[in-house]
Structure 1
Amino acid sequence: MASTAPPRPRARPAHTQGSTHCAYTPNGSKLVTVGSNNTIRLYKTGFDGEPINIDDCQEQNVSVAASDDFFVVGSEDGTVSLYSIPNATFDKYLLRSSLPVRDVALSPDHKWCAVASDELTVKLVRVNQNTQIRHLKEHNKPTKHLVFDTKGETVALSCTDGVVYVYDLASEEPELIRRVDSIIGVVDTESEISTKVAWHPDGRAFALPTPTRDIQVVSKDDWEKQRTFSNGHTGDITALAWSPNGAMLASAGKDKKILIWETKSQVVIAKHDYSNVIDIAWHPTDNLVSFTNSDGEVYIHPGFVPEQSVPLLELSKQPAPFIHDPLSEISANIRRPEANGLKPGLATRPRRDSLDSYDSLVDGPLQGDDEFVVDDDGAGYVVNGNGKRAHDRIDVFGEPLSKRRNIEPEYHEAFQPGSTPWRGNRKYLCLNLTGFIWTVDQDGHNTVTVEFYDHEFHRDFHFTDTFLYDKACLTENGALFSCPPNDDTPATIFYRPHETWTHRTDWRTQLPKGEAVLAMSLSESFVTITTTANYVRVYTLFGIPYKVYRPKSSPMVTCASWRDYVMTIGNGPVGAGGHTKLQYTIENIKRDEICQNEDTVALPEGAVLKSVFFSDSGDPCIYDSTGTLLTLLHWRQPSRACWIPLLDTKLLPRLASGRKTENYFPIAVADNKFHCIILKGGDQYPYFPRPLLSEFDFSIPLTSEPPKAKKVNADAMDDDDTPKADEDESETRKLEQQYLLKGIAAAQLQDLADSRSGSHTQRSTLVRLELEIDKTLLQFLAVECREGEDRGMRALELVDLMRDRTGRMVEAAGKVADRYGRSILGEKIREVGERRANAMVDDDF
């Protein structure tokens, strides 16, 4: 451990004994201190003389927050006051509370002030117009501390019930989005023990003091516990503060110590002996820290960070201490989400602050709102009202729009189908209908567990993983694992079969040094690996290298396999919006046949591929970020493949009310159903305990109308707007779905039969399926006949769509028309039957 940095600064008696707090202005030029007496002090940075005093203030000031031009003070008498820094004078009262104020905080843009008091409601008040107030009232205990995140999108309240309540500020009425419990302790509002949230400067995580005298880091993305700063203090923690670049953390405790921790290693690098410290403030740029204590004293400490650790202060902004940092585990070339859901390449407004909706009313429209024109191809042919071309105009920042924009390609991120990112110290390596594999980081090694749904055929197992596997596949035959390379060891592939008739059949192989696995798949025949070296490596199930090749599309994104077929997906050419177009190739490895070569994956502009897999019958399927499941039709025939939507989850009847929001994690397509995990609360990935699988029937997106409830009203059966008409319409929608879905199933079965010369079972199944299609059309015909004679041409078209060539289904259609008294339609149907009969005779000759 490093030694304490000399010299020790002198204590500056600033206030009388009691709660004393301090804050630097963002530019670092001033330090503001407040305390129990009716004096506020302004210290000029770098000046060792007497501070400027502001005597026109309340007593018992318990909190302060500062901008460059003003600062805000909260007092136990319930007032929140605003003071001018240039004039060093009281300006105005922002707010009055009926109970003592406990904490104040300024939003990052200094336009809003959050006020916590012994009242149950926290108030957000507009600094320049204090009649604008918002209320946070979904917590049920008084708030001891509060703080905005680094972007001003949320505010976190530390309440006396030991829970941190996080509010989203995007809407006019702030919404409670998270309760973080079981971390901070139950503490009274007047206690010197701190439970305050300390946001890391990168904005992705925050630190919390715990009753065990440790400091717990929590991720903002999933609210999971990350790294812990432990074994430092022997007394309760009273203050926390990150260095401006996030490389260090300072903490004070009742053990009369101030500790400096290195963020990356969570190790104490320096100790300072100071008692009763209750507030710490880092200078924005210098090696300078100020802190206050309950004796009313202020310390201004130059050289706070020891000389040997000063290089940490000179680093750029450092990442928060995650157990598994998601930014360090993915490619830098990722597809970024578009602002406000608009397509890239279109001119958009810059995002205003979440709290700044009032500004939109008083500041007026942004420059360029009127007569806004988009010149899609940049050719400059669009002319505005003053005769200037659109690309000659200036943007919202006052800079001229160029004729051509240099679009930097945005590549699709590589991913492993069926896996999840790290969340805390856990992640799913594989989720499918066979079972699931998950791993737990145990600090130095992992513990991997493999569980099956069918325990009659397979037994669950787990093992200690020293290789740190981060990807896995699971089938009925075996489990496949891979680990990333490190400084000393190349990436490793490990295959373990479930059953064997020899002593040892598992195998392990290493990739060339520096080459990492991007995605992999496991079928009944082959192991397929895609790598960062842009290779596709294919092995047999017993580790024999079978094929190595470099695909045309790069960088690679993912892969899937079924029996002898392998589907690889990579980044292709750049589209108009700057996103790469994904391209796929399907190959029969054993036959060395290309089915589809570098064809395009059908994704809407800006959408992201979420998963790719083969169905239980061997047809490729994809699921994208729009919530759509698609399958590939005619994929065995070169240049004939097309993507067919099987289900749009946004149109599910369970979401028709609009009150429910869900996401769906894709698992598989089997038994003509979509198997997935339903995710609540905005989650994108499943977590522990393992959720149950759900299944949905296919429903091709034809209409967004919710299904109509069936009612019985015998007195209104002939009215077009009656429940009978609604029932017919509902039946029509159902029959349309059946016709399309059975047609897709027949086409897929026909392709399979043609590719293998068709077994007797496949041919007989295809005949039955086509008969079911005709029966569906026959039911459809009955509905049309009930509608009246004016639907005759539509009804006749249904007969033309029938696949039966023997004439029996056409004959049955004629009988349906006769039953409903549609004589003209019946004659037309018999003509169709005669034409088909003549055509069959001609074919025989």
Structure 2
Amino acid sequence: MTSTVPRPRPRPAHTQGSTRCAYTPNGTELVTVGSNNTIRVYKTGFDGEPANIDECQEQNVAVSAANDFFVAGSEDGTVSLYSLSSNAFDRFLLRCSLPVRDVALSPDCKWCAVASDELTVKVVNVEDNTNLKTLREHNKPTKHLSYHPKGDILALSCTDGTIYVYSLTADQPELIRKVDGVIGALDTDAEASSKVVWHPDGRAFAVATPTRDVRVVSKNDWEQQRSFSNGHEGDVTALAWSPNGAMLATAGKDKKILIWATKDQSIIARHDYANVMDLAWHPTKNLLSFTTSDGEVYICPDFVSDQFASWLKLPRQPAPFIHDPLTEISANARRPVIANGFKPQAPRNGRHGTPDSIADLLDDDMDGGDLDDFVVDDDGAGYTTGQKRPAADDEIYGGHASKRANILEPEYHESFQPGSTPWRGNRKYLCLNLIGFVWTVDQDSHNTVTVEFYDHHEHRDFHFTDTFLYDKACLNNKGALFSCPPKDDLPATIFYRPHETWTNRSDWRTQLPKGEAVLAMSLSDSFITVTTTANYVRVYTLFGIPYRVYRPKSAPMVTCASYKDYVLTMGNGALGADGTTKLLYTIHNIKTDEVCQNEDVVALPEGESIKSVFFSDAGDPCIYDSTGTLLTLLHWRRPGRAYWAPLLDTKLLTRLAGGKRQENYFPIAVADNKFHCIILKGGDQYPYFPRPLLSEFEFSVPITGPVEPKKRKSKKSRRTDEDDDDLMNQSDHESSGSDFEPEEPEDAETINLTQSFLLKSIFASQLEDQITGRGSHLKRSALARMELEIDKTLLQMLAVECREGEERGMRALELVRLMRDRTGRMVEAAGKVAERYGRGILGEKIREIGERKMMGDDDGEEDDDDGFA
């Protein structure tokens, strides 16, 4: 639509050429610079002549203002500082050898960033210009630069068509990101703009593209978000967000200024102005000013029409995302509720690792109470009136801060779907496991879902057009499961598609009750399990028949996993001493209706969270937490006996020794006694496209730091160890190879043997649990072999202790007591090892243990003192 606001008059300010403008942060003055040797300062609300500063450089091409001073950059390479109290030149701030192209003051106005035709960018301290930082990793001339609203990031738009993002938190600025494929390659003196313009909420920036659109890019993952499209017919020359982010103003070579609605990227006003070079919103008023290449300045009161002027009075509005994380947190944006004076809140310091948690998405200057600033609805104009609802504790205590401070605000664990990732731009993984992966692409009107398998001989890849907008998925060898959230009057839907069928059609779709949404779901060979926002666990057969519906004791629900007939559900339990809810799990045999573990506590360190939960290929529950630790649940088939045992601490991996390599790990599965994951570089928390390769790590119980690399032993030591190996082989002719490492130094050798003993003990416990009550012959045989491997490992550890000397005898004897062999062969071999090293007293005590084992008295207790001469 074309604006009906009266057209403002142009104010001749400078000669023809580059003309720029900037408001002071308090909005009292507008500063303009241009090609002549005069700078003009306009007082807001005063329609008379501006104050002139004649003592200045010519060809000023950039300006940035603070409340009491401003800086201007000139093509002669100088950056000058001017006082607004005296309207006079103060001093030179910096000199460059080539023309200056842009200047920007940091939000605290203590630093000034300077871009020129040089290959580096200078950041100079305003008070002390000898305090200088240099940004040099981009190695290209910079056309524009822009500070993040917090001042910790500086974005450079360079002539090679790349945006370089620097972190300024350290003494030496660090290049943290290169954003390609958004802006075009422009000369530093080109009229078209490639300037990064940060949205006021700090979560994204807008930038003009070569296609004459404006693209929004997320700061969280640097992916492209919504576009302001089909507006200009010429290159975009300037753009600026309104102070609260509710609108975007753009100018182009098509002689148009457009005002866009941020919420839906629609054009709400068109204005005909030619040759516009710069735009500046007043910080608080309905006032837009701009300059042209003709040297003219326009100051436009009431530039936004009455129909939309109220938008400028709204609180800060959210940046336009394709999938805004703020609207997709925890259970489809569950609203906090008041119960007995407690208000559940999003995590502040604990539980920060959960997907899409508010603490990861909001800037540090935005707390949980600012969520009201993001509430928008359709009221005809597209936004609310901006009236902020009173805080719940204000309602209770009438605003008395001392009483509000005593209210405990518990934090609950956010719900998540194992194996999935958040939206990143218009893509996300719905499922990642060892069978394959499912990913979706948002196409605005619909999504496109792709299912790919690792084994193409077993299954064929497929994709389909998704009009339901599925946001969760599960995948196994039998089929693929999908679910979508409720939208408008449409209920949440669950869709199951088997891979193979002997009928014409066996896929099915079912709907949940209106208003009920899926929190998490799992798929096994027997059942489909769905946890919902109504605090129900819904179990279906693979053919869509509702099998069980029950309400778990812990709520809100967090996630679930399943294996054959077993279902593991997790939910928030009672409030702990640290102010967070305890995470509780239940394991239920759906077919027999037997509860194996009932509302037991998930073992988590204080303030940490669950990253993923799944069953291993052997059917044992596993979790991966935000500390980078993989744990498995032992004795879970026996009520009240389950406990979590660590299998791997990724922080202790040898590859991370020395601190030179920084990486994270996205859990996929536990299979073949290995941890399968995706290695993430550069601080990423989730994998992205193209699909990364899977990696695997051997288990390593955290008992010490990374083991040193192996070293060769002396020839004499190797010969002695070979003799010990012969003794162990004599005890069992079936033995072929062992975990004994004769080449390692004693400390590393002891650690590795201890590691092997602990892991094999865990495997033996898992096997023993599987055969309890109805064990098969194969599993009993496997358990016997594993116990034999444990004894052989203990025998190797015994040899190490014997080499250390007589003072280690009691420790050596303890190893013999730990042996599981009931035939006496391993104890006999232990005695021979002691004799080989001349440990006579130790050998006698080992024989005594052997005799007691043969008589059935194998409790390991001694009747006399275990001292040694």
Q: What TM-score do you get using the length of structure 2 for normalisation?
A: 0.87
2:450 is aligned to 449
- Matched residues in 2 for 1:599 and 1:638: separation? 10
- Matched residues in 1 for 2:193 and 2:664: separation? 37
The Cα offsets for residues 201-251 of structure 1, whole Å up to 9 and x where unpaired, read as 111111111111111111111111111111111111110101111111111
Deviates more, 1:483-492 or 1:445-454: 445-454
Letter in 2 for 1:833: G
State yes or no: 1:767 paired with 2:766. Answer: no
Letter in 2 for 1:547: R
Partners of 2:713 and 2:743 within 8 A in 1? no
Partner residue of 2:757 out of 739, 749, 754: 739
Deviates more, 1:554-563 or 1:72-81: 72-81
2:851 is aligned to 834
Deviates more, 1:566-575 or 1:273-282: 566-575
* Per-residue deviation, 1:80: 1.6
Partners of 2:628 and 2:665 within 8 A in 1? yes
* Per-residue deviation, 1:842: 12
* Per-residue deviation, 1:87: 2.5
Relative to structure 1, the CA distance from residue 409 to residue 704 in structure 2 (aligned partners, 3 Å threshold; closer, same or farther) is: same
Letter in 2 for 1:335: P
Structure 2 unaligned residues grouped into runs of 5+:
334-344, 354-362, 367-399, 720-740, 861-869
2:307 is aligned to 308
* Per-residue deviation, 1:715: 9.6
2:737 is aligned to none
Identity of aligned residues (%): 73
Partners of 1:155 and 1:168 within 8 A in 2? yes
- Matched residues in 1 for 2:405 and 2:73: separation? 53
Partners of 2:351 and 2:608 within 8 A in 1? no
2:94 is aligned to 95
Give the 3-state SS of the residue equivalent to 1:130 in structure 2: coil
* Per-residue deviation, 1:817: 1.1
State yes or no: 1:412 paired with 2:413. Answer: yes
* Per-residue deviation, 1:335: 2.3
- Matched residues in 2 for 1:724 and 1:758: separation? 37
- Matched residues in 1 for 2:347 and 2:558: separation? 12
* Per-residue deviation, 1:548: 1.3
1:816 is aligned to 833
Relative to structure 1, the CA distance from residue 338 to residue 65 in structure 2 (aligned partners, 3 Å threshold; closer, same or farther) is: farther
2:264 is aligned to 265
* Per-residue deviation, 1:269: 1.5
Partner residue of 1:781 out of 774, 798, 809: 798
- Matched residues in 2 for 1:584 and 1:124: separation? 53
Letter in 2 for 1:747: S
Matching of residues 209-224 of structure 1 within 5 Å: 209-224=208-223
* Per-residue deviation, 1:724: 8.8
2:768 is aligned to 750
Partners of 2:144 and 2:157 within 8 A in 1? yes
- Matched residues in 2 for 1:506 and 1:352: separation? 49
* Per-residue deviation, 1:315: 2.5
Letter in 2 for 1:441: D
Q: What TM-score do you get using the length of structure 1 for normalisation?
A: 0.90
2:615 is aligned to 614
Partners of 1:56 and 1:90 within 8 A in 2? yes
Relative to structure 1, the CA distance from residue 70 to residue 577 in structure 2 (aligned partners, 3 Å threshold; closer, same or farther) is: farther
- Matched residues in 1 for 2:857 and 2:705: separation? 42
* Per-residue deviation, 1:822: 1.6
- Matched residues in 2 for 1:128 and 1:5: separation? 46
1:16 is aligned to 15
Partners of 1:5 and 1:304 within 8 A in 2? no
State yes or no: 1:25 paired with 2:24. Answer: yes
Relative to structure 1, the CA distance from residue 404 to residue 311 in structure 2 (aligned partners, 3 Å threshold; closer, same or farther) is: closer
* Per-residue deviation, 1:61: 1.2
Partners of 2:352 and 2:608 within 8 A in 1? no
The Cα offsets for residues 346-401 of structure 1, whole Å up to 9 and x where unpaired, read as xxxx9899xxxxxxxxxxxxxxxxxxxxxxxxxxxxxxxxxxxxxxxxxxxxx999
State yes or no: 1:336 paired with 2:353. Answer: no
State yes or no: 1:141 paired with 2:153. Answer: no
Partners of 1:5 and 1:307 within 8 A in 2? no
1:566 is aligned to 567
* Per-residue deviation, 1:711: 3.5
Letter in 2 for 1:795: A
- Matched residues in 1 for 2:859 and 2:116: separation? 92
Letter in 2 for 1:678: I
- Matched residues in 1 for 2:64 and 2:206: separation? 19
Letter in 2 for 1:336: R
* Per-residue deviation, 1:614: 0.5
* Per-residue deviation, 1:41: 1.2
Number of residue pairs the alignment of both structures matches: 784
* Per-residue deviation, 1:310: 2.0
2:390 is aligned to none
Partners of 2:852 and 2:858 within 8 A in 1? no
Relative to structure 1, the CA distance from residue 31 to residue 403 in structure 2 (aligned partners, 3 Å threshold; closer, same or farther) is: closer
- Matched residues in 2 for 1:766 and 1:340: separation? 41
Give the 3-state SS of the residue equivalent to 1:798 in structure 2: helix
* Per-residue deviation, 1:618: 0.8
2:381 is aligned to none
State yes or no: 1:728 paired with 2:746. Answer: yes
The Cα offsets for residues 504-560 of structure 1, whole Å up to 9 and x where unpaired, read as 221111111111001000111111111111111111111111111111211111000
2:586 is aligned to 585
* Per-residue deviation, 1:726: 5.8
State yes or no: 1:196 paired with 2:231. Answer: no
1:472 is aligned to 473
The Cα offsets for residues 450-476 of structure 1, whole Å up to 9 and x where unpaired, read as 111112221111111111110000111
1:381 is aligned to none
* Per-residue deviation, 1:733: 1.1
- Matched residues in 2 for 1:800 and 1:291: separation? 87
Deviates more, 1:144-153 or 1:123-132: 123-132
- Matched residues in 1 for 2:661 and 2:182: separation? 30
Give the 3-state SS of the residue equivalent to 2:787 in structure 1: helix
* Per-residue deviation, 1:575: 2.5
Partners of 1:3 and 1:306 within 8 A in 2? no
Letter in 2 for 1:239: A
Relative to structure 1, the CA distance from residue 129 to residue 578 in structure 2 (aligned partners, 3 Å threshold; closer, same or farther) is: farther
2:3 is aligned to 4
* Per-residue deviation, 1:634: 1.1
1:158 is aligned to 157
Partners of 2:352 and 2:609 within 8 A in 1? no
Partners of 1:5 and 1:303 within 8 A in 2? no
State yes or no: 1:127 paired with 2:126. Answer: yes
Relative to structure 1, the CA distance from residue 664 to residue 320 in structure 2 (aligned partners, 3 Å threshold; closer, same or farther) is: same
- Matched residues in 2 for 1:713 and 1:188: separation? 67
1:486 is aligned to 487
Partners of 2:51 and 2:87 within 8 A in 1? yes
1:382 is aligned to none
* Per-residue deviation, 1:713: 5.2
Partners of 2:435 and 2:476 within 8 A in 1? yes
Deviates more, 1:575-584 or 1:833-842: 833-842
Deviates more, 1:484-493 or 1:832-841: 832-841
Deviates more, 1:291-300 or 1:699-708: 699-708
Give the 3-state SS of the residue equivalent to 1:839 in structure 2: coil
